Amino acid sequence: MIHGGAGSFRKFSPEEKNKFLSAIDRILGDGRDCLAGGASAIEAVALCVGALEDDVLFNAGRGSVLNENKQVEMDAAIMNGATLEAGAVAGVQGIKNPVSLALMVSQKSEHVMFVGEGAMRLAERYGVAQMPDEYFLSEALLAQLERAIEAGKMTLDHDGVDQGDDKLGTVGAVAWDCQGDLAAATSTGGMVNKRQGRVGDSPLIGAGCYADNESCGVSTTGYGEDFIRTVLAKTIADFIEMKGLDASTAAQYGIDYLTRKVKGRGGFIMIDRTGACASQFTTPCLLRGWVEKGGQPMSCF
Amino acid sequence: MIHGGAGSFRKFSPEEKNKFLSAIDRILGDGRDCLAGGASAIEAVALCVGALEDDVLFNAGRGSVLNENKQVEMDAAIMNGATLEAGAVAGVQGIKNPVSLALMVSQKSEHVMFVGEGAMRLAERYGVAQMPDEYFLSEALLAQLERAIEAGKMTLDHDGVDQGDDKLGTVGAVAWDCQGDLAAATSTGGMVNKRQGRVGDSPLIGAGCYADNESCGVSTTGYGEDFIRTVLAKTIADFIEMKGLDASTAAQYGIDYLTRKVKGRGGFIMIDRTGACASQFTTPCLLRGWVEKGGQPMSCF
């Protein structure tokens, strides 16, 4: 299962919508082939999220939106449900694939999470690919930031600027491999015009991403603070492990919890310990695709 | 309930142990008086954690251990169980009380978490007290870092240096007020000789700290990565909310979960929705104190 963010697609033309669905189908196909060839769940989610990061359509990696300082600051997390190894980076700049850096942190460091300069020093140490500013910056992203700054002037009492329909947030993937192992990963460029140093839910294990073979793998997207305050990915895993729910019931319980506790805005994809897929969202749309237990690939908004 | 960290006290003399217990008793008394005077749970935990940060005995605020660059880098989180408002800061320097900054983030910003420079800019904006380097640095802390660096040379293949018995990690508080509202807060200076940018569990909502009036308040301490991978504070809250457990049973389930899933090293304090206190730990000791439902103050290792 992969996703390309939650939000509204009202402003998109049919051609634009097709571009998004085609990208999801292509990357989903690559993930399926990778798993069919015997790859592990953690390899499959790293591959899919890396491909989503490389595509300028999505707000992660190359297509990341700009913060208040006209900089790209990216976050990513990855978790292996077989070992509970997890890695996360926040506020990194110039990294081609933040999910690859998160994977290296999970596999090569004793720690789980690194932020800012310290995370970027690890990228050099681990030989993770870096890219110059031109790779990330585009006229479209600069224009989008200008619009957000203008809107921000209208809502000066607030710390954030609603990113509205402009751009979907966050990408993610969850996989269940032929060993029965689960993995999940999430990556984002954050919010347009975000304050320097703000960390959303994507790099937080339990909020934006969680995987445990005894329950499920989850990747979330939406208004990050709602997912941090409910620790939603872990909550969904706990619904399965503590109440014995299946994927679709746990997904329903999860979205109800998000709504009841904080009126949360966003959604998630998940695969449970039996390989069953599910997703839920409170936003008008959640761009997603899935192949369930070797069946036909599906994608939709 | 308050705690001053999990670990071993083998190296401490009876006089040193008494110093720790006296500090816990004094701060616990201040917290009790504050609640008896009608303060809210969130005010009480901010007061107690602030007092623990001001005491050089504890690894948080003024007594924070040094990172690999001979700097103090502090983390803190706070959560209001009545509203699910949460605030967290990581990697901040020169802030007298990181818990106060976390509280300001929870109350004044739309966001939950800020790291590094961005968090320190908020401290200026919100008028949170700052202190010069001399306030934090001491001969004892520099000597401790030298010992860790030497030990680090012996374990060069590892990213971390075990802080051993030298210093307890992390402080925290949980309170239940006369309105029946819960709150929790956690603060730390992190690990001795830690890598720049490493974030432990303390500032992560759900890992180091969680509070929800419908379940409990929790503050954890120990080897942070174990608590991040199990999202332990939220897991304990879910045991109460999803399985209807009381505090002491949920605490037992929580520590068993930590052990079974990741052989976790550390412990936690908690108060459930009925005001019942509990704590558990896998380390030899957990320095803690509590006043249960207006009863006698207690403290122990």
Q: Rounded mean pLDDT of A271-281?
A: 97
Q: Which of B83, B155, B170, B221 is catalytic?
A: B170
- Inter-chain residue contact B196 with A121, CB threshold 8 Å: yes
Q: What is the pLDDT of residues A91-142, one digit of tens each?
A: 999 999 999 999 999 999 989 999 998 999 999 999 999 999 889 988 888 8
Looking at beta carbons, which residues of chain B come within 8 Å of A259?
A: none
Indicate yes or no: CB of B195 within 8 angstroms of CB of A114.
yes
For residue A164, pLDDT over 60 is answered with: no
Half-sphere CA count of A156, side-chain side, radius 13 A: 2
Tokens 């990696």 sit on residue: A61
Residues in CB range of A27: below 8 A, 6 or more apart = A2, A48, A51, A52, A55, A289
DSSP symbol at A238: H
Residue contact A111–B262, C-beta within 8 A? no
What SS3 state is found at A255? helix
Residue B122 C-alpha, separation from nearest chain A C-alpha, in angstroms? 10
A193 or A117: which leads in pLDDT = A117
B114-167 pLDDT, tens digit each:
999 899 999 999 999 999 988 998 888 888 778 877 776 433 332 333 444 445
Tokens representing B179 are 């309105």
Please tell me the predicted confidence (pLDDT) of residue A11.
Answer: 76
**Residue B137 Cα, gap to closest chain A Cα (Å):** 22
Residue A206 gets the label, from left (phi > 0), alpha (psi -120 to 50) or beta, of left
Instruction: Report how far residue B35's alpha carbon sits from residue B290's, in angstroms, rounded to the nearest whole number.
Output: 13
How many distinct structural domains can be found in chain A?
1
Instruction: Identify the CA nearest to B167 among candidates B67, B59, B66.
Output: B59
Let me know: does A250 contact A239? Beta carbons within 8 Å: yes
Confidence of residue A151 (pLDDT cuts 50, 70, 90): confident
Q: Do B86 and A160 touch (CB under 8 A)?
A: no
Answer yes or no: is pLDDT of A161 > 80: no
What stretches of A166-292 show up as alpha helix (H) in DSSP?
A: 224-230, 232-243, 247-262
pLDDT of residue A157: 30
Task: Report the C-alpha gap between B199 and B92 in whole angstroms.
Answer: 11
The pLDDT assigned to A78 comes to 98
A234 near B CB under 8 A: yes
Please classify residue B95 by burial: count the beta carbons closer than 10 Å to its beta carbon, then call 0-12 exposed, 13-18 middle and 19+ buried.
Answer: buried
- A282 DSSP 8-state letter: S
Report the C-alpha gap between A227 and B140 in whole angstroms: 41
pLDDT for residue B165: 45
Cross-chain residue pair A112–B238, CB shorter than 8 Å: no
Is there a contact between B195 and A111 if contact means CB atoms under 8 Å apart? Answer: yes
Predicted confidence at residue B199, as pLDDT, reads 92
Residue A161: closest C-alpha in chain B: B110
Confidence category of residue B51, pLDDT binned at 50, 70, 90: very high
* Chain B neighbors of A230, CB-CB under 8 A: 84
| Shortest distance, CA B152 to any CA of chain A (angstroms) | 13
CATH code, B159: 3.60.20.30
Look at B111 and A242 and tell me if their CB atoms are within 8 Å: no
Flag if B84 and A261 touch (Cβ within 8 Å).
yes
B249 and A CB contact within 8 Å: no
Does A168 have pLDDT greater than 70?
Answer: no
Contact A238 B235 (CB under 8 A): yes
Average confidence (pLDDT) over A173-185: 97
B68, closest residue in chain A (CA to CA): A118
The angle at the Cα of A45, spanning A42 to A48, to the nearest 5 degrees, equals 150
- pLDDT at residue A153 tops 60: no
Residues 152-171 of A with CB under 8 A from B: 158-160
CA distances A149 to A70, A192, B208, Å, are: 11, 9, 35
How far the first Cα of chain A sits from its last, in Å, is 13
Which chain B residues are within 8 Å of A210, Cβ to Cβ? Answer: 231
pLDDT value at position B144?
79
Contact B234 A239 (CB under 8 A): no
Q: Which pLDDT score is estimated for B107?
A: 96
For residue A27, pLDDT beyond 60? yes
Question: Which residue is closest to A84 within chain B, CA to CA?
Answer: B229
**Residue B50: is its pLDDT beyond 60?**
yes
Q: What is the pTM of this model?
A: 0.94
Give the mean model confidence (pLDDT) for residues A26-49: 96
Residue A113: list chain B partners with CB under 8 A: 198-200, 204, 228
Q: Which of A71-75, A249-253, B76-80, B171-175 has the lowest mean pLDDT?
A: A71-75
Number of Cβ pairs < 8 A linking chain A and chain B: 150
Judged by CB atoms within 8 Å, which residues 102-131 of A form the interface with B? 108-119, 121-122
CA atoms of B5 and B17, how far apart (whole Å): 13
DSSP per-residue codes, A145-199: HHHHHHHHHHTTTSS----TTT--B-EEEEEE-TTS-EEEEEEE---TTPPTTEE
Which residues lie closer than 8 Å to A218 by C-beta, 6 or more apart?
A174, A184, A209, A210, A211, A232, A233, A236, A237, A268, A269, A270
Mean pLDDT of the A52-81 span? 91
Three-class SS of residue B152?
helix
Residues of chain A above pLDDT 90, percent: 72
Residues of A with a catalytic annotation lie at 170
Query: Considering only A96-110, B181-195, B250-264, which range has the smallest mean pLDDT?
Result: B181-195
Asked if B115 and A115 come within 8 Å (Cβ–Cβ), the reply is yes
More confident of the two residues B234 and A285: B234
Asked if B68 has any chain A CB less than 8 Å from its own CB, the reply is no
Is any Cβ of chain A less than 8 angstroms from the Cβ of B27?
A: no
Chain A CB contacts of B117 under 8 Å are 116, 196-197
At B2-40, the pLDDT tens digits run: 999 988 777 788 998 999 999 999 999 999 999 999 999
Q: Does B253 touch chain A (CB under 8 A)?
A: no
pLDDT attached to residue A175: 98
Could you tell me which chain B residue has the CA closest to the CA of A231?
Answer: B206
Task: Determine the residue among A84, A92, A110 to mutate to test chain B binding: the one whose Cβ has the most chain B Cβ atoms within 10 Å.
Answer: A110
Q: Taking all residues of chain B, what is their mean pLDDT, rounded to a whole number?
A: 90
| pLDDT attached to residue A166 | 46
User: What ipTM was assigned to the predicted interfaces of this complex?
Assistant: 0.93
Write out chain A residues lying below 8 Å of B210, CB-based.
Answer: 231
pLDDT band at residue A237 using 50, 70 and 90 as cut-offs: very high
Range of the domain at A97: 2-300
